[in-house]
Structure 1
Amino acid sequence: MSTHTTDAKVLLSSPHLASGIKKATRRLMPMLIILYFVAFLDRTNVGFAEQALEIDRGITAGAYALGAGIFFIGYAIFEIPSNLLLDKFGARFWLARIAITWGIVATAFAWVSNDTSFVILRFLLGVTEAGLFPGVIMFLAQWFPNQRRVQLFALFYLAQPFSQMLGAPLSGGLISFGDQFTPWHGWQVMFFVEGMMAVVAGIAALFFLVDSPQKAKFLSDDEKAAMKAVMDHEDSVKGADGPRGILPALVSWKVWYFTIIYFCLQIAVYGTTFYLPQQVAGLLGKNVGWEVGLVSAIPWVFGLFVCYYVGKNANTVKRRRTWGTMFFLITGAAILFSAWAGANGQALLGILAITVAVSAFLSTGPITWSFPTSFLAGAAAAAGIGLINSLGNLGGFVAPIMRTAINESVPTDSGAWGVVSLGVFAFLAAAMMWGTRFFRAKADDLLETK
């Protein structure tokens, strides 16, 4: 057993570390989950307004696809600068700033008037939200050791199924309520209410988040010392193994390797999420509203439990690699099957396939992030994590445009070929995840200390 591993075993066995992690989890995770819940809701609720925007404002299918995707252009451009500013100003202030400004932009969608204003607002939404997700990933990597990190990433990822499980009926319900009981269009009410939720969450973050264990009044001195010791030890291992500084991180082949994996994952995620309400409506033969919102929540309910189980138990490198590969394969297969079900009018099988796909791709996210955070630290982490998330999220730009282009070139009533194109990238990600067996970070050894 190496000296690094022996030292880590002693540090990780500290009862003060265990109690500190428990307190930090209870204090920090609810606020982080709420922030991502609202963020994911505000970036995807446009799916519930697609038909209404076309009818009420004349938003074309091409403009919708461009707007759905251009969010990620603004997101990608400002991702790394935002992460570096978070490293400078601290997570508490910067994450709150992000939430408040994107909430203001999100409410402005209530007054969208044409193709141009829709596309501009989607771009600005990406600009203002840039840095939230990688900022939280970096924040958690600074607070919690590698051995526990996937579990914390998985808890954070639960905001996605929560946002769709609760957000789908919420969005559908706000649309129905607005149409029936207010002088405004239902989609206007939805955008305004859900945008203001982000503003409130940002203000709350100023009171609940803490930049580091050393500034946490809710920890005892012994707990602060134990958490600092284990994180300092892990950073020293990363410093000997990973890139040091911003530029080395940006040109690191490992960083680019995981950027490609994450890009493939995001194609599956957003290619499914943006069109989920419409796909469910097509399978059920219903218009988007309360009923479609409830059915659209089903995949996320199951995904919630699968993601939590995987995060809790993916505590070795071998298990993370094997499970990550398996869930990417399942994602691809389930997406292909959902295309077949839609083309053949099999509503129940279609919902089942979508449920499996959502559960699988949710589970791969926390696993994927465990790899780069095992060799990136400091400024290299700010730059590397920002690069992976910014360029990886361009999959969200490519997915709707690619899906629309394929459906227009190979027209079918179900749009099956556009769906099929999404699944192909999941198989590429599976092959690359399995390829991680050929390289290993020194910090991975710390996972074996129980």
Structure 2
Amino acid sequence: MNADSYGNRLALGEARDDPAHTALYAKLTRRIVPFLFLAFVVAYIDRVNVSFAKLQMLTDLSLSETVYGAGAGIFFLGYFIFEVPSNLILHRVGARRWIARIMVSWAIVSSLTVFVSGATSFYVLRFLLGVAEAGFFPGVVLYLSNWFPAQRRSQIIALFMTAIPVSGAIGGPLSGWLMAHLAGVHGIAGWRWLFLVEGLGSLVVGVAAFFVLTDNIADVRWLNAEEKSRIAADLARDALTRTETTARGAFANPKVWLLGLLYFCIAMGNYGLAFWVPTIIKASGVASIGNIGLLSAVPSLISVVAMIWIARHADRRNERRVHVALCCAIGAFGLLASVLFAANVTVSVVALVVAAIGINSIAPVFWGIPTALLGGAGAAAGLAVINCTGNLAGFVSPFIVGWLADLSGGKLLPGMLAIAAALLIGAALVMGIPFHRTSPSSQGTFK
């Protein structure tokens, strides 16, 4: 089948269900997504392993919950400042070199956290970790948008973003094991071993990224000429629905900032879950660090299946706003229930499963919206603006929860109420986005 004939069939909505078309994108997925998934797993473990280190580090260094919350969150200030420049550089020099640079940099900084001795050094290294990691996530989303058309993008992003719950499923037990079994080895505290070992893992994956990633379709050897033409036809048709803008144009686009505000609300939930699950489980009466690590993996593992199913459902229905709103509401309900029923381990963990299903399923569907709207250099800048604006919640979320915990004598409920409120505001925002469809097969655009 020639490219013109294929393009005509795709325009009529027929080619998407063609077995050859499905097989082509399955092949593309197998070759691209697994490594990016692995990279995000180690990135997210390095980002949130401080939530486990906290269980020993605060006592060793005499730090308060407020200091922990500020230190956990200051990562996102560095991330915010350097996000847009990093993504623009990636757009210019290519994903292979820049993603490898990002990963090697954050691995080194994460490993250096072993030398934290007080609040100041904790703040400095968390800030530098954010600087090092800036650009990774929006860079990968941009990279995927250059390989997969909008009709398949939510489920591809979902596959990539299952790295978040999987990192929790892996990182929880691993962090608990490292802290429990390496404590005191060579006179080094368990939480210091945690940062050292997990940072070195990121270093290995970062070096591999330089050799594994390919910047564009034309350079790959595992696609033949016809397959490359098919993908190019898909992407060319997809580009017609995007707004090509400059980087400056993205900053001036109110839609970009509206999506950034929405993503801020979503990220409040993400980091409320990521940074406080171990503390919530401990509050339910689980004392063993190893058992806390194992229980923290349960919500993460179960939410993986939900993430993929919900993203596929959103793609099939060609509808994203209601999916995002419902997931926000489910996440808010689960978080509140996990602390309201903290006295019962079983009920609390079940509530965390509900929270993880809702919260972890939001972002893959959400990112299908801006990637279908933005093109050119404006896409690199716009995705970075949305991501870094949203990820300011990574500073606000843990700081607010920690601060409210200190004010209330260690209670988590006030902080979780704030997180739940942010998620519900996000649900209202996404339902208020003006939106229309240009055709039954279109992805839809802002009015």
- Give TM-score, length-normalised by structure 2: 0.93
Q: Which residue identity does 1:131 align to in structure 2?
A: G
Q: Is 2:107 the partner of 1:103?
A: yes
- Counterpart of 1:341, as a letter, is F
Cα gap change, 1:155/1:443 in structure 2, threshold over 3 Å: closer, same or farther? farther
Give the conservation status (yes or no) of the 8 Å contact 1:315–1:447.
no
Residue in structure 2 matched with residue 434 of structure 1 by the alignment? 431
Contact 1:375 1:443 in 2 (8 A): no
Aligned twin of 1:446: 442
1:190 CA drift (Å): 1.0
8 Å CA contact 1:264, 1:429 repeated in 2: yes
Deviation for aligned residue 1:188? 1.4
- The answer for the alignment partner of 1:33 in structure 2 is 37
Q: What is the distance in 2 between the residues matched to 1:313 and 1:61?
A: 40
For 1:401 and 1:53, the matched residues in 2 are separated by 17
Name the counterpart of 1:80.
84
Q: What is the CA distance between 1:57 and its match in structure 2? A: 2.7
Q: CA RMSD in A?
A: 2.1
Structure 1 residue aligned with 2:274: 273
- Bigger Cα displacement from structure 2, 218-227 vs 327-336: 327-336
User: Are 2:313 and 1:309 equivalent residues in the alignment?
Assistant: no
Take 1:152 and 1:256, find their aligned partners in 2: how far apart are those partners? 24
1:401 aligns with 2:405: no
Letter in 1 for 2:391: N
| C-alpha contact 1:146 1:374 (8 A) present in aligned 2 | yes
Give the counterpart of 1:137 among 132, 137, 141.
Answer: 141
Match for 2:424: what amino acid?
A: F
Q: Is the 8 A contact 1:105 1:125 kept in 2?
A: yes
Give the counterpart letter for 2:436 in structure 1: R
Q: In 1, distance between residues paired with 2:284 and 2:153?
A: 38
Q: Which ranges of structure 1 fall in alignment gaps of 5 or more residues? A: none
Query: How do 1:110-121 residues align onto structure 2 when only pairs under 5 Å count?
Result: 110-121=114-125
Letter in 2 for 1:340: L
Confirm whether residue 57 of structure 1 aligns to residue 61 of structure 2: yes
8 Å CA contact 1:100, 1:202 repeated in 2: yes
Aligned pairs, how many? 438
Q: 1:444 to 1:117 in 2, by over 3 A?
A: farther
Helix, strand or coil for the counterpart of 2:381? Answer: helix
* Contact persistence 1:23–1:219 (CA under 8 A): no
What's the offset of the Cα at 1:261? 1.2
Cα distance, 1:118–1:180 mapped onto 2, change above 3 Å: closer
SS for the counterpart of 2:44 is: helix
2:173 touches 2:294 (CA, 8 Å); kept in 1?
Answer: yes
Matched, 1:424 2:425: no
The match for 1:244 is 245
In 1, Cα distance between the equivalents of 2:315 and 2:9? Answer: 16
Deviation at 1:447, TM superposition (A): 4.8
Aligned partner of 2:362: which letter? Answer: T
CA change 1:114–1:412 in 2 (3 A) is closer
Distance 1:221 1:243 in 2: 27
Q: Which runs of 5+ in 2 are unaligned?
A: 1-6
CA contact (8 A) 1:168 1:293 kept: yes
Is the contact between residue 331 and residue 360 of structure 1 (CA under 8 Å) also seen in structure 2? yes
Aligned residues of 2:341 and 2:347 also touching (Cα < 8 A): yes
CA distance in 2: counterparts of 1:212 and 1:179, whole angstroms: 46
SS in 1 for 2:315: coil
Shift of 1:206: 1.6
Shift of 1:441: 6.6
Partner SS for 1:9: coil
Correspondences of 1:252-331 after superposition (within 5 Å) = 252-287=253-288, 289-316=289-316, 319-331=319-331
CA distance in 1, matches of 2:361, 2:214: 27
**In 2, distance between residues paired with 1:278 and 1:45?**
13
For 1:364-384, what per-residue CA distance to the aligned partner results, in whole angstroms no more than 9, with x for missing partners?
111110011111011011010
Q: Deviations over 1:241-283 (max 9, x none)?
A: x351112211212211211111001111112211211111111
Contact 2:275 2:398 in 1 (8 A): yes
Cα distance in 1, alignment partners of residues 427 and 116 from structure 2: 40
The corresponding residue for 2:195 is: 191
Q: How does 1:195-214 map to 2 (within 5 A)?
A: 195-214=199-218
**Alpha-carbon separation, structure 1, partners of 2:226 and 2:328:** 41
Amino acid at match of 1:398: V
Amino acid at match of 1:415: L
* Residue in structure 1 matched with residue 358 of structure 2 by the alignment: 360
Contact kept, 8 Å, 1:72 with 1:393, in 2: the verdict is: yes
Q: Which residue type is aligned with residue 420 of structure 1?
A: L
- Equivalent-residue separation in structure 1 for 2:55 and 2:297 (angstroms): 19
Contact map agreement 2:66 2:403 (CA 8 A) in 1: no
Deviation at 1:405, TM superposition (A): 2.5
Q: CA deviation at 1:43?
A: 0.6
C-alpha deviation, 1:314, in angstroms: 1.8
Aligned residues of 2:149 and 2:238 also touching (Cα < 8 A): yes
SS in 2 for 1:174: helix
Paired residue type of 1:24? L
Contact 1:16 1:223 in 2 (8 A): no
**Distance in 1 between the 2:261 and 2:12 partners?**
31
Matched to 1:299, the amino acid is: P
Q: What do residues 74-104 of structure 1 show as CA deviations (whole Å, max 9, x unaligned)? A: 0011101110010011111111111111000
Instruction: Please list the CA deviations of residues 163-221 of structure 1 after superposition, one character each: whole Å capped at 9, or x if unmatched.
Output: 00111000100111211655321111111110011110011112221111111111111
Question: After the TM superposition, which of the residue ranges 151-160 and 225-234 deviates more from structure 2?
Answer: 225-234
Letter in 2 for 1:423: A
Which stretch shows the higher mean deviation, 118-127 or 417-426?
417-426
Q: 1: CA distance between counterparts of 2:314 and 2:131?
A: 33
- Stretch deviating more after TM superposition (248-257 or 384-393): 248-257
Q: CA deviation at 1:428?
A: 0.8
Return the alpha-carbon distance in structure 1 between the equivalents of residues 436 and 109 of structure 2: 42
More off after superposition, 110-119 vs 71-80? 110-119
Letter in 2 for 1:336: L
Change in Cα spacing, 1:235 to 1:198, as seen in structure 2 (3 Å) is same
Question: What letter matches 1:97 in structure 2?
Answer: R
Q: Distance in 2 between matches of 1:7 and 1:181?
A: 63
- Is 1:20–1:224's contact at 8 Å kept on the other side of the alignment? no
- Normalization by structure 1: what TM-score? 0.92
- Residue number in structure 1 paired with 2:171: 167
Q: How far did 1:106 drift?
A: 0.6
The CA deviation at 1:232 is 1.6
Give the direction of change, closer, same or farther, for the CA distance of 1:222–1:36 in structure 2 (3 Å limit). Answer: same
What amino acid is aligned across from residue 161 of structure 2 in structure 1?
Y
